[in-house]
A and B are shown apart, each in its own frame.
Chain A
Amino acid sequence: MPNPNDFAILFDASRCIGCKACQVACKQWNDLEPEKTSNRGSYANPTKLTAHTWISMRFYEGLRPDGEPYFDFIRVACMHCTHAPCVASCPTGAMAYREGGVVTVDERTCIGCRFCVQACPYEAVHFDEARGVVYKCTLCHDRVSHGDKPACVKACPTDALTFGPYREMQAVAEERVRVLKERGYSRANIYGLGELGGTHVLYVLTEHPSQYDLPKAVREAEKRAATGWLSAGIAAAVLGAGLKFIVDRREAIKGGGQ
């Protein structure tokens, strides 16, 4: 569980109009380079986060099984996990938890090994080839530590993005899900309460998380590594003893019988 007084962003998919004001505000405030984009038949552009795009909108459109058309969208960025795989995997301490539960990378310490890029289940950390280090959303640490809102929240024209203490954001999200369910969105849910120790970015969704390509079964990097070490230990013991037996003992047993 995040600390109740931590910083938190609440994204409400039922209020979002997909205008990308957050995406543009993030670029402007953080002075991020433009991206070469192309038309891929979706409003999502660029389709994935990069070292220079820390927020992007993803769009999903089509027909539901009952023939009803849908047009869903979601704001994708770093989730600022409480047990972040990028922090656990970082071998130099460059990626670390900062005040208020924010996860940021220190670009002067980062060695560019890209382990965090591989470890993030949200594909939110990216490598900048030119600078040789990784970049990601900072939750506008420079703004929030001076009492302002993150740039994306400030720019949102429909209050789909709100910013405040984790405790308040969670309460608002729970209330919103209750209202949505009353209005007939029976699958309304909150994403981020249980994932990776609770994320500092909470989503109110009207559909199941898989509809927005949000991973449901995410495991903490510490647990993944523990499974690995356990498996490696068993493998070393079994293979060492097994091969030794096949090659030597069997020979000895056969030799003893002669």
Chain B
Amino acid sequence: MITLDFPNPIGEEHWGLWIALYFFLAGTTGGAYLISVLFYGHDQALIRRSALWAFGGVVVGSFLLIIDLGQPLRFLNLLLGGFYPASAMWLGTWFLLISGAGLLWVYLRTPSRRLQQMVALLVALVVGYTAVLLMQTAKPFWNASPLLPWLFLASAVTAGGALLQLWRYDERLSRLIVAAALVEGAVLALHLLWAYPAAAKAVLALLAGPLAWAFWGFVVVGWGLPLVLERRSVATAALLTLLGAFLLRYFVVMAAQV
């Protein structure tokens, strides 16, 4: 396990920075590809470019996952070890592999729109399985409510949209991001309320504990400010949204292990 020694007020965590960074990369670049296919199906140049980004996200994310393992050189056991569909991690490994191949194909060969949409389904599975992975654990903050997939998917749309906004601006994209951000905020609030009885310690760590910097940093800088700035300074809003998406993944991953 290769770790960076960040100041960690929480003590020990089993899944830390690399996992949060992977969730962020897969969610953001995957979200950008999903938006391209779903909303800009006619714009093949955009789809190709976002497919390349998403491919990069899958490759870099897989690399982060591998260096996070206790025995990185045994990573092939994930693929060759057998058939374990009950494990979200085993399924996720295959989703990553197949969607990576699909995204590279979309970038290099530009297949028909039907096939691009099938690759989008795989990418949606990559984005969604990360939340199911957390829900499959015994940590109450992750599994007390069924809302984690909603949160991760909504966040993938805001962050993916923000990534696209760095290169292009149009009114539709802006409206999409605002709508997704509102859903994201509502889902997060509902999740905290829902999880509070079972995971009071984690929720309090977010609101006023060792993770408050990440939580309020997300709420103010990574979510509220971009909503205000969306009409005034799109580039700033997009960058802040991306920062917020990382903070969101980071505090969700860390809070359950407080």
- Interface set of A (CB-CB < 8 Å, partner B): 85, 88-94, 109-115, 117-121, 127-129, 131-134, 218-219, 221-222, 224-225, 227-233, 235-236, 239-240, 242-244, 246-248, 251
Contacts and interface: CB of A to CB of B under 8 A. Distances in A.
7 contacts: A91-B87, A110-B70, A128-B70, A228-B148, A236-B128, A239-B183, A246-B176
B39 A248 contact: yes
A239 B153 contact: yes
B61 interface: no
B115 to A, nearest CB: 18
Given A118-B15, A228-B149, A236-B128, A111 B71 contact: yes
Interface in B110-141: 124, 128-129, 131-133, 135-139
B221 interface: no
Contact of B78 (A92, A121, A225, A236): A92
A91 B137 contact: no
Contacts of B183: 239, 242
A221 B149 contact: no
Nearest to B93: A91
A111 B132 contact: no
Pick from B84, B93, B138, B172 the residue with the most CB of A within 10 Å: B138
A117 B74 CA distance: 18
Contacts of A235: 128, 149-150, 153
Contacts of A236: 124, 128, 149, 153
A85 B128 contact: no
Interface residues of B, number: 48
Contacts of B179: 243, 246-247
Interface in B147-161: 147-150, 153-154, 157
B184 to A, nearest CB: 10
Complex A-B, nearest 8 residue pairs according to Cβ-Cβ distance, in ascending order: A112-B70, A132-B70, A228-B132, A232-B149, A228-B135, A118-B137, A91-B90, A92-B81
A232 B128 contact: yes
A247 B172 contact: yes
B10 interface: no
Given A89-B87, A132-B69, A239 B75 contact: no
Contacts of A239: 150, 153-154, 157, 180, 183
A138 B166 CA distance: 54
A132 B14 CA distance: 12
A128 B88 CA distance: 23
Nearest to A128: B70
Given A118-B137, A247-B175, A248-B39, A133 B14 contact: no
A248 B148 CA distance: 26
Contacts of B8: none
B45 interface: no
Contacts of B153: 232, 235-236, 239
Contacts of B137: 89, 115, 118-119, 221, 224
A231 B124 CA distance: 13
B149 A231 contact: yes
A89 B136 CA distance: 8
Pick from A117, A236, A248 the residue with the most CB of B within 10 Å: A236
Contacts of B36: none
Given A114-B70, A222-B86, A227 B176 contact: no
A170 B81 CA distance: 36
Contacts of A118: 14-15, 137-139
Contacts of A243: 157, 176, 179-180
Contacts of A120: 138
Contacts of A219: 143
Given A119-B136, A121-B138, A89 B147 contact: no
A93 B138 contact: no
Interface string B88-123: 111001000000000000000000000000000000
Nearest to B156: A239
A93 B82 CA distance: 7
A221 B132 CA distance: 11
A244 B14 contact: no
Contacts of B132: 225, 228-229, 232
